[in-house]
């Protein structure tokens, strides 16, 4: 049975990028089972690529996660952007969340594991950069912060430049490229809001946050909750 979604109608203001002069604060294709959800004593199977960075310091160690988080982390490998206007579109419409949750269900079934209802903390970073911004500068800050975040634990998925600066226990990380007006979107998935808070106190994250004023003309943080029901048979995304 495919997972069903409960998607609320969110206010227009939540998705509009607003100019700010304050550094952001984040605290306020199908996946098939081929590896067992346990320590295999084979590092190539215990570590998962969850960001654009594939070096060891950026890999997610599946042995540090419980069953629920292992299942979601594996499913999030298949997270895809579905539209070209991701910089301004409603967040729930940007990615293939229904497929991700369905992959969680299939992974749980194939591995004979039980997925128990759980909620995850999602951070969304919408931004605009001026034409003179060197994107390589953002990349340097982002990569350092991502390694720091991964080391602290709880980071399931990431995908945002500079925002990764605020991640620790992420499940997945994703970021796009600026559109013709310099607008972009980056996002990451955490086990919990507390994990995200802990991830924001490292030195690399502080340096990245400080650089926000110089590198962006506008930015906006959105905080969302992804709730996946028992057995991954349904899901919903709401404001945190």
Q: What is the pLDDT of residues 107-132, one digit of tens each?
A: 999 999 999 999 999 989 898 888 77
pLDDT of residue 56: 57
196 touches 123 (CB < 8 A) = yes
Low-confidence residues in the chain, pLDDT < 50: 1-24, 26-27, 29-37, 39-40, 157, 159-171
Region at 131 (left for phi over 0; alpha for psi -120 to 50; beta for the rest): alpha
* Per-residue pLDDT tens digits for 16-37: 434 343 444 544 532 233 334 4
Cα gap 136→188, rounded to integer Å? 20
- Please state the pTM of the whole predicted model: 0.68
Q: Could you tell me which of 99, 101, 106, 134 has the C-alpha nearest to residue 119?
A: 101
Q: Specify whether the CB–CB gap between 196 and 190 falls below 8 A.
A: yes
* CB 158 within 8 Å of CB 149: yes
Q: Hey, what's the torsion of the CAs at 14, 87, 121, 54, to 10 degrees?
A: -170
DSSP 145: H
Residue 177's pLDDT is what? Answer: 78
What is the pLDDT at residue 100? Answer: 94
CB of 210 within 8 A of CB of 204? no
User: Which residues make Cβ contacts (< 8 Å) with residue 72, sequence separation at least 6?
Assistant: 104, 118, 120, 156, 171, 189, 228
Write down the domain spans for the chain. 67-110+117-239
| Length of the chain counted residue by residue | 240
pLDDT of amino acid 52? 59
Q: What is the pLDDT of residue 166?
A: 29
CA 219/CA 192 separation, integer angstroms: 23
What CATH number was assigned to the domain covering residues 67-110+117-239? 3.30.70.100
């Amino acid at each position: 049975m495919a997972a069903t979604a409960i998607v609320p109608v969110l206010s227009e203001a939540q998705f509009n990028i607003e100019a700010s002069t304050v550094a952001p604060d984040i605290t306020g294709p199908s996946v098939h089972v081929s590896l067992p959800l346990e320590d295999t004593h084979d590092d190539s199977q215990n570590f998962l690529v969850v960001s654009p960075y594939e070096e060891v310091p950026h890999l997610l160690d599946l042995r540090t996660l419980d069953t629920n988080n292992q299942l979601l982390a594996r499913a999030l490998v298949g997270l895809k952007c579905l539209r070209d206007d991701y910089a301004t579109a409603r967040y729930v419409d940007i990615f293939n969340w229904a497929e991700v949750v369905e992959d969680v269900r299939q992974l749980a079934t194939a591995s004979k594991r039980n997925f128990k209802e759980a909620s995850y903390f999602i951070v969304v970073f919408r931004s605009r950069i001026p034409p003179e911004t060197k994107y390589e500068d953002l990349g340097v800050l982002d990569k350092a912060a991502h390694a720091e975040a991964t080391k602290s634990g709880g980071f399931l998925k990431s995908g945002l430049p500079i925002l990764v600066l605020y991640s620790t226990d992420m499940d997945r990380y994703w970021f796009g490229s600026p559109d013709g007006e310099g607008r972009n979107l980056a996002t990451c998935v955490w086990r919990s809001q507390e994990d995200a808070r802990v991830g924001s106190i490292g030195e690399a994250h502080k340096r990245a946050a400080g650089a926000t004023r110089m590198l962006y003309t506008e930015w906006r943080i959105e905080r969302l909750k992804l709730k996946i029901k028992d057995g991954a048979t349904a899901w919903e995304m709401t404001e945190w």
